[in-house]
Amino acid sequence: MAARDNPLLEITPQVLLKAYTCGIFPMAESADDPQLYWIEPQARGILPLDCVEIPKRLQRTIRQEIYEIRVDTEFDGVIAGCAASRPGRRTTWINDRIRKLYRELHRLGYCHTVEVWSGGRLVGGLYGVALGGAFFGESMFSEMRDASKIALVYLCARLIHGGFVMLDTQFVTDHLRQFGTIEVERTEFHGRLERAIRAEGDFFRLEREPTPRRVLDIVLARAGT
């Protein structure tokens, strides 16, 4: 379900946070479209934090420490990477209003990035919104092999260790399904959302630069593997 935003109602960071508690989020038709649409999917993607699956090959890559992982150091770079065109996708739903809104949420401490660096260059990452014990994943990008996948694993470790109870992925893709992402109906999602919002997650309970072994131990121990 999608509804165009009311031009008489200014969408502020506070309005956006309230929308998340109601299970809706904004998207633009394209980067050039100044308007936003409120989206509430009939079926919602979530990645259960108690059964995150990490492919064996990816575990080996993480242990090799090919990349440097940072948190909340380059918001503009991450959202620019998520908005960039790439093979198979000529346009993006991230317009200037989206950039400004989430930049303000980042300044206020609600929007976070997990960044993947190589040789001093940002090569992948993701961003999303933390509210209570829920994390709402917005977008991710990758310019080098496995960069966005590694960012997701590091995010899951941070959420698990920080006491979060729900990771909302909005939709289910093949990229997300390999980690255990499932689809739930809107009614079930709202029940999970209500419980998650009441919880108290701490995004920075885990140190900013955990070792790869610590990240894998946190995620795999929670999954019982």
Which CATH number characterizes residue 206's domain?
3.40.630.70
Name the pTM for this structure.
0.93
pLDDT at res. 93? 82
Total count of domains within the chain: 1
Q: Calculate mean pLDDT across residues 119-139.
A: 98
Q: For 49-99, what is each residue's pLDDT tens digit?
A: 999 999 999 999 999 999 999 999 999 999 999 999 766 555 678 999 999
Domain that holds residue 130: 42-90+108-223
Torsional class of 106: left (φ above 0), alpha (ψ -120 to 50), beta (otherwise):
alpha
Render pLDDT for 195-215 as a digit per residue (tens, 0 to 9).
Answer: 999 999 999 999 999 999 999
17 located within any domain: no
Nearest by Cα to 210 from 140, 162, 143: 162
Q: Is residue 173 part of a domain?
A: yes
If DSSP states are collapsed to H, E and C, what string results for 60-78? HHHHCCCCEEEECCCHHHH
d(CA 32, CA 90) in angstroms, rounded, equals: 12
pLDDT at residue number 224: 80
Digit-coded pLDDT (tens) for 19-36:
999 999 999 888 788 889
Q: Tell me: the pLDDT tens digits for 175-191?
A: 999 999 999 999 999 99
Does residue 2 lie in a domain region?
no
